[in-house]
Amino acid sequence: MINKSSLCQQAVDLLKKRIISHALAPGQRLDEAALAMDLGISRTPLREALKILSAEGFVHIKPRRGCFVAELTPGDLEEIFPIMAMLEGRVAHEVAIKATADDLKRLAALHEKLEKHAAGHDVDRYYEVNYVFHDALQELAGNRWLQHMIGDLRRLLRLSRHRSLKLEGRQQESLAEHRALMDALRRRDAAAAEEIMKNHLLAQLVALRSMAARQEAA
C-alpha cells in the first residue's frame, strides 16, 4: 500500500517499476479495480497515473477496451535505435574531450567487469554492468539534456521482451566494440569514439532483427 501523499505520482513510480521489471507484462490488460486495491488508492488518482504513463509511452489507453501495458513493435525499435545511436554517439564524443585520467580509470574498471562476465558467458551480469557503463558515460559527458533524452528512451527500450546480448556471438561482438571505444577514449579521439558508439547501438538493432527473424522462422 502506498502513502496518501502525492498518490498519483507514487502510483506512476510504482507502476513504472513493475512495467520495466515485466512484473506487468508487455501487452497485458490492466485491471483498474485490482490495481487500485493493490495500491490502496481510489480509481481517481490511479486513472490520472495511467494518463501520465500513457503520455510517457508506458501504457496504451484504448477507448472501450481498457488500458494495456505498452509493447514495443519492430517498427518502434527501428525508429528508436537510430536516435539512440546519435545521442549516445554524442555522449562518447563529449567524454573523449572532457574525461579526466581518474574518469578513464573508472570506465576501465567497469570495462574489466565486462571482460570478466563475457569470459564467464554471464549475459545477465554483463547486461547489468553494461547498463552502469553507459550511465557512467552519460554522467561524465555532463550534458543534462542528453541524459534526459537518453534516459527516457532507455526506459522505453526496457519494455522490449528481447535482449540483443542473448543472440549467439553478440556478447563477444559487444565486448569488442567496448574495447574499441575505450581505446578511442584513451586516445582522446572524439570523432572515433562517436562513430564507434553509433555503430555499437546500431549493432544492437541488427541483433534484435536477427532474433525476431529466427523467432518467426521457428
Give residue 101's pLDDT: 98
pLDDT band at residue 218, thresholds of 50, 70 and 90? Answer: low
Phi and psi at 69, nearest 5°, equal -65, 135
Look over the chain and give the mean of its residue pLDDT values, rounded to a whole number.
92
Give residue 213's pLDDT: 84
Task: Give the count of beta carbons closer than 10 Å to the beta carbon of residue 24.
Answer: 19
Instruction: Verify that 158 and 197 share a domain, yes or no.
Output: yes
Give residue 212's pLDDT: 84
Instruction: Verify that 12 and 101 share a domain, yes or no.
Output: no
Give the global pTM. Answer: 0.82
Instruction: Verify that 52 and 115 share a domain, yes or no.
Output: no
Instruction: Verify that 65 and 78 share a domain, yes or no.
Output: no
Half-sphere exposure (Cβ direction) of 180: Cα atoms closer than 13 Å:
16
Q: Give the Å distances, CA to CA, from 190 to 3, 20, 91, 162.
A: 48, 33, 10, 31
Q: Give the Å distances, CA to CA, from 183 to 142, 188, 192.
A: 21, 9, 9
Question: Comparing 159 with 54, which gets the higher pLDDT?
Answer: 54
Overall number of domains in the chain: 2
Dihedral of alpha carbons 49, 47, 157, 189, sign = negative
- End residue of a domain, out of 53, 69, 85: 69
Grid cell for residue 174:
559487444
Question: Comparing 21 with 11, which gets the higher pLDDT?
Answer: 11
Give the structural domain span for 32. 7-69
Encode pLDDT of 38-77 as tens digits.
998 999 999 999 999 999 889 999 998 999 999 888 899 9
Instruction: Verify that 202 and 114 share a domain, yes or no.
Output: yes
Give residue 3's pLDDT: 55
What SS3 class is residue 131?
helix
Encode pLDDT of 97-120 as tens digits.
999 999 999 999 999 999 999 999
Instruction: Verify that 168 and 212 share a domain, yes or no.
Output: yes
pLDDT at 1 over 70: no
The residue-averaged pLDDT of 146-171 equals: 87
CA distance 172 to 159: 24
Q: Which residue has the cell 557503463?
A: 133
Instruction: Verify that 64 and 78 share a domain, yes or no.
Output: no
Encode pLDDT of 192-202 as tens digits.
999 999 999 99
